[in-house]
Amino acid sequence: MNSLSSGISTTLASIDRPLDLSVVVPLYNEVESLPRLIAAIEASLKNTDLRYEIVCVDDGSRDGTAALLKELAIEREDLSAVLLRRNYGQTPAMAAGFKIAQGRVIVTMDGDLQNDPADIPTLYAKLDEGYDLVSGWRKNRQDDALTRLLPSKIANGIISRVTGVKLNDYGCSLKAYRAEIVEDMNLYGELHRFLPALAFIEGAHIIEVPVNHHARQFGQSKYGLGRTFRVVMDLMTVFFMKKFLTKPMHVFGMFGFASMSLGMLLGIYLTIVKLFLDQDIGNRPLLTLAMLLFLGGLQLLSFGLISELLMRTYHESQGRPIYRIREVIGSGDRRSDIAES
Ligand code: UDP
Ligand code: MG
């Protein structure tokens, strides 16, 4: 694994963190899988020179996952456990893991043994080639064809189109990130699957690599078809974030202005008809249309202004810049760091 270790001193070294790799795993009722999972992660990483940790997040399990996890974390040096107070869902569980992860690279995966820890070094090596995010692609996905594969295929197509990030498999949890990409991200809803899209908005270089996938051996899936709806809603949020996050007035303002102008023109036309041609306009559908367009436009415009204020609060309250810098060359101390590595 020499290529990995020498790689660390090149592209991945500029981030100031104590470990090379954190494997973050959300767990909800996965007591049977847990010991096997830890063993498999260890087996996959012990032959590399990577300094790694496993961060398991128990998402309020009710089957003894938490107790077992606690026991293991006390026993093992390479394992940290985060026990959430109740079941929050996969996204918050992952966010909790991100919060305590100390690796320069963060790999996420499912805790049900459907993802294969043997793929982790491959993802890591890909990051080392200069990508910011490496996403797993379950080329041979082992799930039910009708309820999982078909909706997933459609969803991946739509998400790729809407977000502009073409991935075959958004739903695969096995992904590797540079830590600073994850640090930049605020997660809500079930946005973890959109992390590539969100990262892309922040300017990340993304690549997809095929990974193994196994059928679930223990326990059961936590999701049904209902997820599709939530994914669509989240997609709309992401679409908005992508397009208009820093310039809402451009979209609302444009439509608002167009609608108002059209309404106004119609209004002028109707006024002329009434005043100069002496015709009745009270029962003309055009009058209703003019009013609708004018008022609708006015609302859109005001909405744009309010969004503009909200957007400023969003960025300024977090000290969040409206741009992301990849690298700065030629300024003070950091310059020598970068030059050395
Ligand atoms: N998960 C979680 N909290 C939840 C639901 C799921 O932490 O509320 C975890 C679960 O334990 C697993 C991963 O998220 O490690 C993916 O869940 P699952 O395998 O049920 O999803 P699927 O593979 O069926 O899409
Ligand atoms: Mg699963």
More confident residue, 18 or 190: 18
Residues 80, 81, 85, CA angle at the centre, nearest 5°? 155
Residue 34 in domain: yes
- Cα–Cα distance between 134 and 181 in angstroms, integer? 12
Select from 215, 242, 269 the last residue of a domain. 242
Q: Whose CA is closest to atom 4 on ligand 1? A: 89
Assign 340 a pLDDT band (cuts: 50, 70, 90): very low
**pLDDT computed for residue 324 by the predictor:** 79
Residue 197 in domain: yes
150 and 192 housed in the same domain: yes
**pLDDT computed for residue 64 by the predictor:** 93
How many domains are contained in the chain?
2
For the CA of 216, the nearest ligand: 2
117 and 232 housed in the same domain: yes
230 and 159 housed in the same domain: yes
Mean pLDDT of 41-70: 94
227 and 258 housed in the same domain: no
75 and 178 housed in the same domain: yes
pLDDT score of 10 more than 70 = no
166 and 263 housed in the same domain: no
Mean pLDDT of 170-181: 93
What residues are paired with 138 via a beta bridge? Answer: 211
109: number of Cβ within 10 Å: 26
Question: Is any atom of ligand 1 closer than 6 Å to the C-beta of 221?
Answer: yes
Give the domain CATH number at 54.
3.90.550.10
Question: Is any atom of ligand 1 closer than 6 Å to the C-beta of 59?
Answer: yes
- Cα–Cα distance between 271 and 229 in angstroms, integer? 47
For ligand 1, pick from 143, 222, 230 the residue to mutate: most ligand atoms within 8 Å of CB. Answer: 222
Assign 60 a pLDDT band (cuts: 50, 70, 90): very high
Q: Whose CA is closest to atom 23 on ligand 1? A: 221
Q: Whose CA is closest to atom 24 on ligand 1? A: 221
Question: Is any atom of ligand 1 closer than 6 Å to the C-beta of 26?
Answer: yes
CA of 132 to the centre of ligand 2 (A): 25
Residue 209 in domain: yes
CA of 233 to the centre of ligand 1 (A): 19
Question: Is any atom of ligand 1 closer than 6 Å to the C-beta of 114?
Answer: yes
100 and 60 housed in the same domain: yes
Question: Is any atom of ligand 1 closer than 6 Å to the C-beta of 244?
Answer: no
Select from 186, 213, 242 the last residue of a domain. 242
pLDDT score of 182 more than 60 = yes
pLDDT score of 3 more than 90 = no
91 and 109 housed in the same domain: yes
pLDDT score of 106 more than 80 = yes
Mean pLDDT of 40-54: 94
208 and 255 housed in the same domain: no
Do 35 and 65 contact (CB within 8 A), yes or no?
A: no
175 and 259 housed in the same domain: no
- Reading the block at residue 219, the tokens are 């326990």
- Cα–Cα distance between 194 and 145 in angstroms, integer? 23
For the CA of 151, the nearest ligand: 1
pLDDT score of 2 more than 70 = no
**pLDDT computed for residue 9 by the predictor:** 41
Show the domain range for 312. Answer: 248-318
**pLDDT computed for residue 15 by the predictor:** 64
3-state secondary structure the chain: CHHHHHHHCCCCCCCCCCEEEEEEEEECCCCCHHHHHHHHHHHHHCCCCCCEEEEEEECCCCCCHHHHHHHHHHHCCCEEEEECCCCCCHHHHHHHHHHHCCEEEEEECCCCCCECHHHHHHHHHHHHCCCCEEEEEECCCCCCHHHHHHHHHHHHHHHHHHHCCCCCCCCCCCEEEEHHHHHCCCCCCCHHHHHHHHHHHCCCCEEEEEECECCCCCCCCCCCCHHHHHHHHHHHHHHHHHHHCCCHHHHHHHHHHHHHHHHHHHHHHHHHHHHHCCCCCCCCHHHHHHHHHHHHHHHHHHHHHHHHHHHHHHHHHCCCCCCCCCCCCCCHHHHHHHHHC
What residues are paired with 134 via a beta bridge? Answer: 176, 207
Q: Find which of 152-166, 226-240, 252-266, 321-335 is predicted with most confidence, using mean pLDDT.
A: 252-266
Q: Whose CA is closest to atom 2 on ligand 1? A: 90
47 and 193 housed in the same domain: yes
174 and 222 housed in the same domain: yes
Mean pLDDT of 29-46: 95
Sheet containing 206-211, strands listed edge to edge, beginning at the edge strand earlier in sequence: 79-83, 52-58, 19-27, 103-108, 175-178, 133-138, 206-211
CA of 93 to the centre of ligand 1 (A): 10
Q: Give the atom of ligand 1 at the shortest distance from the alpha carbon of 89.
A: 8
The mean pLDDT of the chain is 88
Dihedral angle sign, alpha carbons of residues 285, 288, 291, 292: negative
What is the model's pTM?
0.81
- Cα–Cα distance between 17 and 101 in angstroms, integer? 10
CA of 192 to the centre of ligand 2 (A): 14
**pLDDT computed for residue 333 by the predictor:** 57
Question: Is any atom of ligand 1 closer than 6 Å to the C-beta of 180?
Answer: no
For ligand 1, pick from 82, 87, 112 the residue to mutate: most ligand atoms within 8 Å of CB. Answer: 112
Q: Whose CA is closest to atom 22 on ligand 1? A: 221
- Nearest CA to 37 among 51, 21, 55, 50? 55
Select from 219, 242, 265 the last residue of a domain. 242
Residue 335 in domain: no
Assign 55 a pLDDT band (cuts: 50, 70, 90): very high
Residue 151 in domain: yes
Residue 133 in domain: yes
Question: Is any atom of ligand 1 closer than 6 Å to the C-beta of 190?
Answer: no
Residue 328 in domain: no
- Cα–Cα distance between 207 and 126 in angstroms, integer? 8
For ligand 1, pick from 24, 28, 143, 216 the residue to mutate: most ligand atoms within 8 Å of CB. Answer: 28
Residue 339 in domain: no
**pLDDT computed for residue 145 by the predictor:** 82
* Cα atoms found within 13 Å of the Cα of residue 294, Cβ hemisphere only: 12
